[in-house]
A and B are shown apart, each in its own frame.
Chain A
Amino acid sequence: MQWETVIGLEIHAQLATKTKIFSAASTAYGAEPNTQACAVDLGLPGVLPVLNQEAVRMAVKFGMAIEAEVADYSVFARKNYFYPDLPKGYQISQMDHPIVGIGHMDIEVDDQTKRVGVTRAHLEEDAGKSLHEDFHGLTGVDLNRAGTPLLEIVSEPDMRSAKEAVAYMRKIHELVQYLDICDGNMQEGSFRCDANVSIRPVGQEEYGTRTELKNINSFKFVEKAINIEVERQIEIIEAGGRITQETRLYDADKNETRSMRSKEEANDYRYFPDPDLLPVYISDELRAQVKADLPELPHLKRQRFIEQYKLDSETATQLSSSRQLADYFEALIKESGCGAKICSNWITVELSGALNKQNLDISQSPVSHDRLAGLLKRISDNTISGKIAKQVFELMWNSEDSADAIIDAQGLKQITDSGAIEAIIDKIIADNPGQVEQYLSGKDKVFGFFVGQTMKASQGKANPGEVNKILKEKLKR
């Protein structure tokens, strides 16, 4: 039997507001436990939530970016369940009236563009953290994260492979960072997802029974978790069994999924509108404001890069993958006065290589775009060769000096004086009569030997064009 995989994702993006969604406490990550939880976050008696308008603005921004309907009117609801890291005994979320309605996201897989539907996106507060280690059989509760704003982005079950799911997740990840509404940090849990996975015989329209894989916090794990879950489901069905609708946890260490709770054990969350909060009305003013603030979106930027800079599709995709990288690229072109080709080459090869080696982000690059521009200028005015430039770049990486300062200090200036080059070449011809003989007898390959010797003798500083010209002249048969 041929099986088709059906996947839908629920992505939780932590919104990059300074303060929490319903209180004035800070959202900064990594503070001492319970130092960033005020009376509202602690759920003390009598305190009331007040909505952070910045979170609303960010949700609207996301809605507009995926061309979704942004609701005129949305409602916060209480999702009721007991857990020690849920201080109020309910989570404030949205149920019947989410702030963002139906939208979409286009993904590219195997050179095919596919449209994935977004069902909805809604605002909610995060819970705290239960700490099970270090307490000798007891559980510690850290409420610093409680009340952090989340945007839960729910997709349609439109993805048909783990690869598509990852592509979709990456696109959303890229978008929320483009929009400056989420820092995208997956290690810190700022961006995480649950995957709904089912299988069905190819050609069947009805969906199979799905399982929900919880809290997967890396692209790699999403792919692995889905693949392993699909395998498990196929095995069960082909052995004549049935899939139970349940929540499963992915264990990255063992690369397996295991049951957390079945549907029968599932909570009845008893959602109802939160009477402490008024419905949220999105004004035309806010819409206009957000629209005006909307940055150029990744897919449009990519298109523009191809048209304006004549980049190939792959390079355009790479350079538009983050707003900072794209900005770096365009700033480099502007400041260096060099063409898009050399700029994109330097970024995608030298710079990206160096960044990757040290696991750095473009925003953490030790070589800023203006310093790199200084280097590219010296290539284009023939002060140094491309090869020497790589050497200079390495030195720039480890210092704060400008390209010019390094070139001067290291004496790397290219030799363009033909008299000086001639002198070197004359000596090499005189020292290597055998090779001259070979060349003259028609062994063209030996020409490279002379170029190499000349470059070596000049410590790489001789202008390669000049060297070629003079050598050809001198070795004329």
Chain B
Amino acid sequence: MHTKTITQLVKGLRAGDYSSQELTQSYLARIKQHQALNSFITVTDEQAMAAAKQADARLASGNAPLLTGIPIAHKDIFCTQGVRTSCGSKMLDNFIAPYNATVVDKFNAAGTVTLGKLNMDEFAMGSSNETSFYGAVHNPWANNTVPGGSSGGSAAAVAARLIPAATGTDTGGSIRQPAALCGITGLKPTYGRVSRYGMIAYASSLDQGGPMTQTAEDAALMLQVMAGFDTKDSTSVEREVPDYSAGLNNSLKGLKIGLPKEFFDEGLNSDMAAAIETAVNEYKKLGAEVVEVSMPNLKLAIPAYYVIAPAECSANLSRMDGVRFGHRCTEPADLNDLYIRSRGEGFGTEVKRRILVGTYALSEGYYDAYYIKAQKIRRLISDDFNKALEQVDVIMGPVSPTPAFGLGEKTSDPIEMYLADIYTIAINLAGLPAMSIPAGFINEKPVGLQIIGNYFAEAKLLNVAHQYQQVTDWHQQTPQGFE
């Protein structure tokens, strides 16, 4: 039953094919069996079994919400009351939040059963899950390759069918890129669609939570739970949440797809270009039209991102000071020593690098040249997308320039690592929703197709993704050893 989608499990639970407790037990067993993947930081067996028992009672009572009894797991960036939230960092290895993230509360109310907390790059800073204090996660498709990041644990666990679905967060591609590298479906919603309350901030103006699932159909069910205005998050948008499943089967006849020529220039690996072209051809068969669009400022996305995100993170991470919670050095000599050693010991290299870059970019005399300039570029990039989306319904392209790369392959060269997010970062800068869906393989490694839509057009994206999944079976493939 572990290969089943949420949609199938919902039916099974209601038909009485299995109970939530049986389901939970079976997934917990798989998590244990595949510990070597290192996709979980914390497994909450006991709480999960208790929740499953409650879910079964609710199901028996006959008025349980749709997802009651479905096992899921949260990226370890979402605060969970009473259960450690580490954010992949030594700094928060001892941190237990006295509150739930809004997303966590919403899933609890929806009746899902949380099996644990998923591995991730430290403070969501990374594209390979290698910056985690808890060690790298392995890609179930090729053990010696990375699962992508920062939501690498989420992607690997769903791909290995250790859980039917997971939450993730995406600041520069952190849902889409690992989804692509692990051959699953990932959705980054419009900025403001999902509450950020209780989601430990990396770059506040870019962070957005979203679902990671096997199928678009499941992503619709998950997003239905996650989306909505939250009075506790001023940047969440007060706007009605549509029924994300209602339009999944709409025809794509006449759908206008834009292909940005800048996505397909010489930087793109030819196998990847071919795979994307094949996927786009599938859409043509479904009745879609394809036009070329242009985004002249796209090449500025990475430099702009690596000013804005570090700038924000340099302030966001200041609260990790060893004073009130988190890692504190032993025997501090004075206040400065407490700060320096607690932070020096608690943070990993990549986090330190970004704090330093951000601090520099905000410093007197550099602020205009870096931060203000980056914000201007951000506006230009948004304009590029807005202009393109006036002509087309969705924009398509690759998620990642290559399929999964080797563990350790890029860790010594941060710039090389940053370039792994070249196709995803611009979308965060613009605040648009985007998906990654499985679209084939290169050397037995999954390839992701990226679909980008207009603001709050998540339903459209899900419809476009679902229709493709009706005529392809890439999303149904399970890696060897995890069938």
Task: Mark contacts of B232-256 with chain A using CB atoms, 8 A cut-off: 1 yes-contact digit, 0 otherwise.
Answer: 1111000000000000000000000
Knowing A39-B99, A84-B335, A272-B311 touch, does A45 contact B92 (C-beta < 8 A)?
yes
Query: Which of B85, B233, B367 sits near A48, CB closer than 8 Å?
Result: B233
Query: Cβ of A45 and Cβ of B235 under 8 Å apart?
Result: no
Q: Which residues of B contact A141 (CB under 8 A)?
A: 323-324
**Chain B, 88-114, CB within 8 A of any chain A CB:** 92, 95, 97-99, 101
Q: Could you tell me if A276 and B87 are in contact, using CB atoms closer than 8 angstroms? A: no
Q: Contact check, A272 vs B367: say whether CB atoms are below 8 A apart.
A: yes
Q: Which residues of A lie under 8 Å from residue B335 when comparing CB positions?
A: 84, 139
List A residues 74-92 near B (Cβ within 8 Å). Answer: 78, 80, 82, 84, 87-90
Judge whether B233 and A45 touch: CB under 8 Å: no
Is A101 engaged at the interface, CB distance under 8 Å to the other chain? Answer: no
Interface assignment of B196: CB less than 8 Å from any CB of chain A: yes
User: Complex Cα distance A139/B320, Å?
Assistant: 18
Question: CA–CA, A42 to B323, complex, Å?
Answer: 10
Evaluate whether A268 and B319 lie within 8 angstroms (CB atoms) in the complex, with A82-B339, A87-B324 already known: no
Set of chain B residues within 8 Å of A276, measured between Cβ atoms: 201, 204, 234-235
Rounded to whole angstroms, the CA-CA distance of A89 and B199 in the bound complex is 18
> Chain B residues with Cβ under 8 A from A42's Cβ?
324
Partner of A44, one of B97, B233, B311: B97
The docked-state distance in angstroms from the alpha carbon of A139 to that of B336 is: 13
* Docked complex Cα distance between A45 and B76 (Å): 12
Q: A49-B234, A268-B364 are in contact. Are A90 and B200 (CB under 8 A)?
A: no
Task: Kindly identify which residue among A46, A270, A271, A278 contacts B234, using a CB–CB cutoff of 8 Å.
Answer: A278
Any A CB within 8 A of the CB of B205 = yes
Contact A46 B324, beta carbon cutoff 8 Å: no
Shortest B141–chain A CB gap in Å is 32
Cβ-defined contact, A278 with B235, below 8 A: yes
Which of B198, B233, B324 is A43 in contact with, Cβ under 8 Å? B324
Residues of A within 8 A of B98 (CB): 39, 44
Report yes or no: A46 in contact with B323, Cβ–Cβ below 8 A.
no
A51 at the interface (CB under 8 A from B): yes
Interface residue tally for chain B (C-beta within 8 Å): 44
Q: A47-B198, A48-B197, A78-B315 are in contact. Are A89 and B204 (CB under 8 A)?
A: no
- Check A45–B320 contact: CB distance below 8 A: yes
Residue pair A44, B232 in contact (C-beta under 8 Å): no
B359 CB contacts on chain A under 8 angstroms: 270
Once A87-B324, A90-B318 are accepted as A-B contacts, the answer to whether A46 and B371 lie under 8 Å apart by CB is no
Q: Is the CB of A45 within 8 A of B234?
A: no
Q: Does chain A have a CB within 8 A of B55?
A: no
In-complex Cβ contact of A46 among B79, B203, B367 (8 A): B79
Kindly state whether residue A277 has any CB partner on chain B within 8 Å. yes
How distant is the Cα of A90 from the Cα of B198 in the complex, in angstroms?
19
Interface size class, chain A: 20 to 34
Q: Is the CB of B234 within 8 A of A277?
A: yes
Q: List CB contacts (< 8 Å) of A267-309 with chain B.
A: 268, 270-272, 275-278
Contact A45–B323 (Cβ < 8 Å): no
A42 vs B198: C-alpha distance when bound (angstroms): 14
Tell me the chain A residues, 231-269 only, with Cβ under 8 Å from chain B. Answer: 268
Chain B window 333-369, contacts with chain A (Cβ cutoff 8 Å), 1 for yes, 0 for no: 0010001000000000000000000010011100100
B321→A82 contact, CB < 8 A: yes
In the assembled complex, A109 has its CB within 8 A of some CB on chain B: no
Chain A residues closer than 8 Å to B233, beta-carbon distance: 48, 50
Partner of A45, one of B87, B314, B362: B87
B362 touches A272 (CB 8 A): yes
B318 and A89 within 8 A (CB): yes
Complex Cα distance, B315 from A51, in Å, reads 19
State in angstroms the CA–CA spacing of A158 and B135 once bound together. 61
Give the nearest-CB partner of A278 in chain B: B234
- Counting CB contacts under 8 A, is B122 at the interface? no
CA distance A47 to B363 in the complex (A): 26
User: How far apart sit A49 and B316, CA to CA, in the bound complex (Å)?
Assistant: 13
Least Cβ distance of A21 to chain B in Å? 13
User: Does B231 lie at the interface of the complex (its beta carbon under 8 Å from any beta carbon of A)?
Assistant: yes
A48 x B362 contact (CB < 8 A): no
B482 interface hit (Cβ, 8 Å) = no
Q: B312 an interface residue at 8 Å Cβ cutoff?
A: yes
Give the distance in Å from the alpha carbon of A310 to the alpha carbon of B217 in the complex: 81
Which residue of chain A is the closest to B100 with respect to CB atoms?
A46
Q: Does A275 lie within 8 Å of B85, measured CB to CB?
A: no
| Residues of A with C-beta under 8 A to B99 | 39, 44, 46-47
Q: Please measure, in the bound complex, the distance between the C-alpha atom of A139 and the C-alpha atom of B323, giving whole angstroms.
A: 11
| Complex contact B319–A48 (CB within 8 A) | no
Interface residues of B in 25-75 (CB under 8 A from A): none
A window 172-210: CB within 8 A of B: none
Apart from A46-B79, A47-B99, A270-B364, what are 5 other A-B pairs with CB-CB below 8 Å?
A: A48-B234, A82-B321, A84-B323, A270-B315, A270-B363
Give me 12 A-to-B residue pairs in the complex whose CB atoms sit less than 8 angstroms apart, sorted by A's number. A44-B324, A45-B87, A45-B95, A45-B97, A45-B320, A46-B78, A49-B234, A50-B234, A84-B321, A84-B323, A270-B362, A275-B235
Point out residues on B near A: beta carbons under 8 Å.
78-79, 85, 87, 92, 95, 97-99, 101, 196-201, 203-205, 231-235, 311-312, 314-315, 317-321, 323-325, 335, 339, 359, 362-364, 367, 371
